[in-house]
Structure 1
Amino acid sequence: MSSISKIGWTDASWNPTTGCTQTSPGCKNCYAETTAKKLHGIGFKEYDEIFSVKTHLHKLYQPLNWKKGKRILVNSMGDLLHPAVPDQFIYDVFGVMNQATQHTFQLLTKYSDRLVDLSARVLWSNNIWAGVSVENQDYCWRISHLKTLGAKHRFIAFEPLIGPISDPDFNNIDWVIIGGESAKYAREMKIDWVRTIRDACVKSNVPFHFARWDKQNAKRLGRTLDGVLWDQIPK
């Protein structure tokens, strides 16, 4: 698969592991699982067991061969911090990120508790951004975990946003992303939920990136929020 990503807030995807299990409501219409089923159907070896968690040693060192600096999303097709991924493999991934200083790595997880447990045993070099996925208020504890990490840069992806976030606190957060679901049976993302988060970002001077509406609203609104494209990405 090409390293080039169609995700608007990154340049490339790196998948040293693939596969995951549904762990919270935001996973219901997982695009990665849907994609894995398609790739399985056309014979991709990495997906011979569809979405079972696997490590891929042959992909571990890929970023070292990409000479031009990129923003790289770590594991668009899984979650590096999944319980089935061995600790040592995670350390090896961090080792590659530490070496590939030409890149900015966007490490995004739903397993924030495990990342907290391992945080003191890895080197958070300046080119590693730690991020958590949060779908509604019930999972804001992931943000609390994020703020305890040794990472120098932290971001939150409210993707997919399927419920409101009350009084968001973006102290010690460097970037916020919002996106709705694009699946066939996508759940609605209400505009007031998005406005609340956007307004908190503006108030806290945190870069805000609005990735997309849910499938239904996207037809009507495109990618604008109140008529504005929010494509802010930290330098």
Structure 2
Amino acid sequence: ANRLQGMNNPKYNRGFKLTLHPNDLLEPTKWRKPSMIFVCSMSDLFHKDVPFEFIDRIFDVIRNTPQHRYQILTKRAERMNLYFNGRTIPSNAWIGVTVENVQTKCRMDYIRNLDAKVKFISCEPLLEDLGEINLSGINWIIVGGESGVQARPMKEEWVLNIKRQAETNHIPFFFKQWGTWGDDGIRRSKKANGKLLKGKIIQEIPMQNNE
């Protein structure tokens, strides 16, 4: 956000301060090609200052554009769960929570029983070994390392532990990137470190019944 603010991008004039953009809500209705859309990729839809009425408008657009699939990821799992109480989740909305360390594994409990076609966890940035994970009700796992000046390293064994459990539970596993620190523990650009895990690109995505 700070970088885009420095580039005079009008949508980021306020930097990291929460800003709603109601004029952009209908943009997906203009896209004919089916797309995977990451909602609020630089923010959190369930931030306490985002009114439920505004979130309702977003889900209206999601329902009215069934050709697209929407990934909605949050760290505010409790507020998300409150929002969905009494509301129907569109079949093209994939609902996920960020699980970056052991302490945040509890967020998964808020999505296990949601009536969503795909419920996923994003372990990005993965900051420690998660140990054994209760993956009941989970349909997809994303793992990635941290990037940026203050990035913390991610160890290969942490990633492989999650991959093993995903395979045991027949859950698609998507390895996004190493980030600033490579699998050899050397700091480089995230592009240089790449996204190979044991020499392979592993980026599995759930298939839905209509695909």
Q: Matched residues in 1 for 2:104 and 2:20: separation?
A: 27
The answer to whether the 8 Å contact 2:181/2:193 transfers is no
Looking at structure 2, the residues matched to 127 and 79 of structure 1 have their Cα atoms a distance apart, in angstroms, of 19
Task: Name the counterpart of 2:204.
Answer: 232
Is 1:222 the counterpart of 2:187? The answer is no
List runs of 5+ in structure 2 lacking aligned partners: none
- More deviation, 155-164/183-192: 183-192
TM-score, with length taken from structure 1? 0.81
* 1:104 and 2:69 matched: yes
Q: Does the CA-based 8 Å contact 1:109-1:131 persist in structure 2?
A: yes
* 3-state SS of paired residue (1:215): coil
**Match for 1:188: what amino acid?**
P
Give me the identity figure in percent.
34
Structure 2 residue aligned with 1:91? 56
**1:38-187 matches, cutoff 5 A:** 38-187=3-152
One-letter amino acid of the counterpart of residue 151, structure 1 = A
Q: Which runs of 4+ in 1 moved over 3 A?
A: 218-222
Which structure's relative contact order is higher, taking Cα pairs within 8 Å and 6+ residues apart? Answer: 1
1:6 aligns to what? none
Counterpart CA distance in 2 for 1:214 and 1:37 is 19
* Amino acid of the structure 2 residue aligned with 1:222: G
Counterpart residue number, 1:10: none
Give 1:193's aligned residue: 158
Encode CA deviations 1:153-176: one digit per residue, 9 max, x unaligned: 101110000011121122221110
- CA drift at 1:107: 0.6
The separation in 1 between residues aligned to 2:85 and 2:22, in whole angstroms, is: 24
Q: Secondary structure at the match of 2:88?
A: coil
Separation (CA, whole Å) in 1 of partners of 2:158 and 2:102: 11
Question: 1:94·1:122 contact (CA, 8 Å) conserved in 2?
Answer: no
Q: Which moved more, 1:206-215 or 1:118-127?
A: 118-127
**Count of aligned positions:** 200
Structure 1 residue 52: deviation in Å? 0.8
Post-superposition CA distance 1:137-192 (Å, at most 9, x none) = 10001111111322221011100000111211222211100000121231011111
Give the TM-score, by structure 2 length: 0.90
Letter of the 1:101 partner, please give it. Answer: P
Equivalent residue for 2:177? 212
Taking the aligned partners of 1:148 and 1:38, their CA distance within structure 2 comes to 38
Which whole-Å deviations, capped at 9, do the CAs of 1:16-74 have from their partners, x for residues lacking one? xxxxxxxxxxxxxxxxxxxx111111222221111111111111111111111111111
Equivalent position amino acid for 1:228 in 2: K
SS of 2:111's equivalent?
A: helix
Q: What is the SS of the residue equivalent to 1:92?
A: helix
Aligned Cα root-mean-square deviation (Å): 1.4
1:131 and 1:208 map into 2 onto residues whose CA distance is 14
**Residue 221 of structure 1: how far off its partner (Å):** 5.8
Question: Does the 8 Å contact 1:178/1:209 carry over to 2?
Answer: yes
Instruction: Give structure 1 stretches of 5+ with no counterpart.
Output: 1-35
